[in-house]
Amino acid sequence: MAFFSATIFASGIEKKVDNQKDGGQINTNSEVKAYIEHHLKDSHDFALFSYTSDQGERKHVGFPLPVILWTSKGLVTFMSSEFHHNDDGHVVVEKGGLKFAKIHSKIYELDNGAATVSFDETHHATNAHKTLDFSITKSVVGILLAGLLIFLGFSKLAKQYKTRKIPKGISRVLEPLVLYVRDEIAKPNIGEKKYRKFMPFLLTVFFFIWLLNLLGLTPLGFNVTGQIAVTVCLALLTMIIYITNGSKDFWAHTLWMPGVPYILRPVLAVIELVGFIIIKPFSLLVRLFANITAGHFVVMSLIALMITMKEAFGPVASTGMSLVLALFIMVIEILVAFLQAFIFTMLSSLFIGMAVEEHEHH
């Protein structure tokens, strides 16, 4: 669980932020804050934990991921391990006749002739520019892993439905969840006649978000649904589906609402379009992003109590207090993992149902 992973970090064993000059140990409030911010971001590698060897050397345990960049000279690839840390935290990697540096988890291409990164007073690079980054990051690995688990689980469930009436094994766990999405989410919101068409999407979204939320509670440190880019894509998919499947009645009521004065109809049409194109997708993406990010932040902050409060209460008391509180929050996070998947799927089905509904004319 992320509880145990965070315990390692809070004990001063692990640190992976820019400009580390103290051997990688976290001892101050500012360092704790920097680590939490780093944890919430995506990463080009997996950093599992760190330790100090008998010789006093700092050792980092993890594994790199492929870096894939589209640069001014075309495609460039290498492993993220080449961005090892030194005193200034910015290592320049030379590949394909170009030089690259990783600054605040973003990879920059240095200008021609530049050997090191130069910064202005606000710590922005002045002699480097961003590249198109198609790297296999930690979030991408999480998405691929969730997709693989969904494919394997439902492939097995489909095969068992062909040969037996009652599934067995892991399929027995999936079946009640599938029936729950169908009977409690799709049918009530979309209707008996049209729900089948949208079941593949609703099931995919539900299990995708749920699995990613659960993966975020493991020591691997995934925070996929806490990445705004991921929640934006999920919300856009929902928007595309309910807009492209909107019935004639839906568009008639949206663009030229009956029963109101003609002078108000264009104003109401703009309001309705803004609601369906901007407000509804925005509510979907922000709710998921904010709740998952807040959960990770709270857990890491509670674990960090053993560092920030050890001088006031002593190391034993502060450690026990932070572990008990963090364990309590972790139990709640397991519930939140399911709840956020349910809410996103429920709202998606509700928006789809509003779009495909056939209105009665009196």
Least confident of 150-164, 200-214, 242-256, 301-315: 301-315
Q: If you ran DSSP here, which 8-state letter would residue 357 be given?
A: P
Mean pLDDT calculated for residue range 227-240? 94
Decide if pLDDT at 349 tops 90. yes
Other Cβ atoms closer than 10 A to 283: 14
- Nearest C-alpha neighbor of 136 from the set 64, 81, 71, 212: 64
- Residue 223, token pair as written in the block: 């925070």
Least confident stretch, 30-44, 90-104, 142-156, 326-340: 30-44
pLDDT higher than threshold 50 for residue 13: no
Write the DSSP assignment of 37-79 as a string of letters.
Answer: HHHHS--SEEEEEEEE-TTS-EEEEEEE-EEEEEETTEEEEEE
Average pLDDT over residues 205-234: 90
- CA 109 to CA 115: how far, in whole Å? 11
Residue 136, SS3?
A: coil
Average pLDDT on 309-337 reads 77
Could you tell me the pLDDT band of residue 55, with boundaries at 50, 70 and 90?
Answer: confident
Highest mean pLDDT among 60-64, 79-83, 232-236, 272-276: 232-236
Angstrom distance (rounded) from CA 217 to CA 212: 9
This prediction's pTM: 0.82
Q: Which helix (H) or strand (E) holds 129?
A: strand 128-130
Note the residue count of the chain. 362
Most confident of 50-64, 224-238, 299-313, 348-362: 224-238
Percent residues over pLDDT 90 in the chain: 31
Tell me the pLDDT band of 279, cut-offs 50, 70 and 90.
very high
Cα 123 to chain centroid, rounded: 27
Band of the pLDDT at 88, cuts 50, 70, 90?
A: very low
| Of 45-59, 65-79, 277-291, the least confident | 45-59
In the chain, the amino acid numbered 356 is V
Q: Tell me how far apart the alpha carbons of residues 65 and 44 are, in angstroms, rounded to a whole number.
A: 6
Q: Which pLDDT score is estimated for 300?
A: 78
